[in-house]
Amino acid sequence: MAISRRAFLKGGAVAAGAVALNNTPAEASADAPETRIKGVKSSTTICPYCAVGCGLLVHTKNGKVINIEGDPNHPINEGALCSKGSSLFQVANNERRLQKVMYRAPGSDKFVEKSWDWALDRISQRMKETRDKSFKISELNKKDNKEYVVNRTEGMAFFGGAGLDNEECYLWTKFSRAMGIGQLEHQARL
Ligand code: SF4
C-alpha cells in the first residue's frame, strides 16, 4: 500500500505523542538488548569448547541461565563466537542433557542411576585392576635382543580435550605418566 510523506509524518507524530504521554514506547521490541537483560545478573566466563578460550557473558535470573553471548570486552573474541560457542545456551538448558550418573552393568539391558561417589570409586577400582593386570616392568627389544626396563601399561589410554587449560593439561599428563600410561592423546571436540 502506498503511503504519502505527509501521512507518514502524521503517523510518526501520533506515535511519539503516545510515548510522551505514557512515558513508555507504544510497543517495546521483545528482543531489544536492554529489555532482555534488564534485572538479570551478568557474569563473565570462558567458552569450554576449545583452546581459543573466547570470553562469554552469562545472564542469570533466579539461578537459571537465560542468555549467553560473546563478551565484547574480551581481548580474544571481542564479542564474536563461532557456531559452537553461539549454541552454548543449549548446554545449560537442555532436557536431553544427562545430569546424573547412569550405569549399565555388563550383560544388562537397563541403565540405573548411581551417585557420583559410587562412579568415582568404580572408575578408580577399574583403573587399578587394569593397571595391575597389564603393567610391564621390562620388555625385550628385538633389534638387539636385550631386555629394557619400560614400567608401562598398555591396557589404558588417556584422552585430553581442547577445553583443558595449560595447568590442567600439565596435571593430566603428569597423572597419566605416573600411572605408566604411554598412550596419551588429544581430541579437539571433547
Ligand atoms: S568453540 Fe568457538 S566460541 Fe568456543 S572458544 Fe572455541 S572458537 Fe571460541
Strand partners, 185: 159
Question: Is 131 a pocket residue for ligand 1 (Cβ < 6 Å)?
Answer: no
- Which of 68, 74, 81, 90 is the pocket-test mutation for ligand 1 (most atoms within 8 Å of CB)? 81
Cell of 189: 571436540
Domain boundaries, the chain: 37-97
Query: If you take atom 8 of ligand 1, which residue's CA is the nearest one?
Result: 54
Three-state DSSP at 159 gives strand
Pairing verdict, β 41-46 and 146-153? unpaired
Question: Is 161 a pocket residue for ligand 1 (Cβ < 6 Å)?
Answer: no
| High-pLDDT (> 90) share of the chain, % | 57
Average pLDDT across the chain, whole number: 84
The pLDDT tens digits for 90-139 are 888 888 888 899 999 999 999 999 999 999 999 999 999 999 999 999 99
Gap between the Cα atoms of 62 and 23, Å rounded: 28
Q: What is the pTM of this model?
A: 0.61
Q: Which of 57, 62, 127 is nearest to 89 (CA)?
A: 57
| Average pLDDT of the segment spanning 31-44 | 75
pLDDT of residue 1: 54
As a CATH number, domain 37-97 is 3.30.200.210
pLDDT at 41 over 70: yes
Ligand 1 atom closest to Cα of 49? 1
